[in-house]
Amino acid sequence: MTSSSRRGKVRRGRPPAPEAERKDRLIQTRVEEDLDEALRAAAKQQRVTVSQLIRNVLHDTFRLVEDIVVNTTNLTESVKRDARRIAASAQGYASEEEAAAAKAARAAAIAAVVPPPPAPVEEPLENVLAWQEVVMGRERPCARCGTLLAKGQKGFLGVLDDPSAPRPFICATCAQELGQIP
Ligand SMILES: [Zn+2]
């Protein structure tokens, strides 16, 4: 893309004035000594005056920003990657990966703070009024030993005082150990 076509495409609002009609304005600014030295060194290296160097830098920077704003929808993958890298570095991360890891860590921390839904309060097995021998209609773990009671298998359903409390199922072995069946 040539500079003239870019200028034509990028500039919005008022059309740009022809080069000869443009009036230069004086912009003054105070800079730190370090920056001043760096500017002088860079100007010397590029064989331009400090003013020219600053003008070029400002010009390039704002043209770049305009280009990015105008072409956001057409950004190539590599530019997007660069932008993410710049964003990562601006946030103090060494790499895009590190930034992503930090983001994941933040999400995990938030997830850790949010309490999990309360587990149903299980009545202790000692509170069971009676054990009713049942045929399992669905697979359930034994409330005492965790053994999976398969569908169709014999199990024992605990009858509780509180009919709204979740009723435990136990396996035949546990029922035997609890002295419920011989
Ligand atoms: Zn069991």
- The C-alpha R_g of the chain, in whole angstroms, comes to 37
Single-letter amino acid code for the residue at 136: M
Q: What is the pLDDT of residues 122-151, one digit of tens each?
A: 667 888 889 999 999 999 999 999 999 999
The band of 35, judged by pLDDT with boundaries at 50, 70 and 90, is: confident
20 inside domain: no
Residues 35 and 71 in one domain: yes
Shared-domain flag, residues 131 and 80: no
* Total residue count of the chain as it appears in this document: 182
Q: Cα(176) to centroid of ligand 1, in Å?
A: 9
pLDDT of residue 101: 79
Closest to 171 measured CA to CA, from 137, 152, 147, 151: 147
Ligand 1 centre to CA of 137 (Å) is 17
Ligand 1 center–CA 115 separation, angstroms? 30
In a domain, residue 6? The reply is no
Range of 73's domain? 26-113
Instruction: Tell me the average pLDDT across 151-173.
Output: 90
What is the CA(169)–ligand 1 centre distance, in A? Answer: 9
Q: What is the pLDDT of residue 139?
A: 93
- Looking at per-residue confidence, does 53 or 109 come out higher? 53
* Same domain as 46, residue 82: yes
149 CA distance to ligand 1 centroid (A)?
A: 9
Choose among 127, 118, 119, 172: nearest CA to 145: 172
Domain membership flag for residue 170: yes
| Domain boundary, last residue among 70, 89, 113 | 113
Check whether residue 109 and residue 155 sit in a common domain: no
57 and 91 inside one domain: yes
| 180 and 156 Cβ atoms separated by less than 8 Å | yes
Read off the pLDDT of residues 166-178 as tens digits, 9 standing for 90 and up. 889 999 999 999 8
Q: How far is the CA of 177 from the centre of ligand 1 (A)?
A: 9
Residue 58 located in a structural domain: yes
Same structural domain, 95 and 129:
no
Distances from the Cα of 98 to the Cα of 83, 88, 91, 94, 136, angstroms: 15, 8, 10, 6, 51
Residue 23 or residue 11, greater confidence: 23
- In the reported structure, the alpha carbon of residue 119 is separated from the centroid of ligand 1 by a whole-number distance in angstroms of 20
Per the domain annotation, does 82 fall within a domain? yes
Query: In this model, does residue 57 exceed pLDDT 70?
Result: yes
Residue 130 C-alpha to ligand 1 middle, in angstroms?
16
Q: What's the gap in Å between 146 CA and the centre of ligand 1?
A: 6
Same domain for 30 and 109: yes
Residue 16 in any domain: the answer is no
Strand order of the sheet with strand 154-159? Answer: 130-135, 154-159, 169-170
Using the mean position of ligand 1's atoms as its centre, give its distance from the Cα of residue 181 in Å: 13
Q: In total, how many domains does the chain have?
A: 2
- Is 105 in the same domain as 36? yes
- Does 152 lie in the same domain as 81? no
| CA–centroid distance, residue 135 to ligand 1 (Å) | 15
pLDDT band of residue 86 (cuts 50, 70, 90) is confident
* Residues 6+ away with beta carbon under 8 Å from 116: none
Could you tell me if residue 120 is inside a domain? no
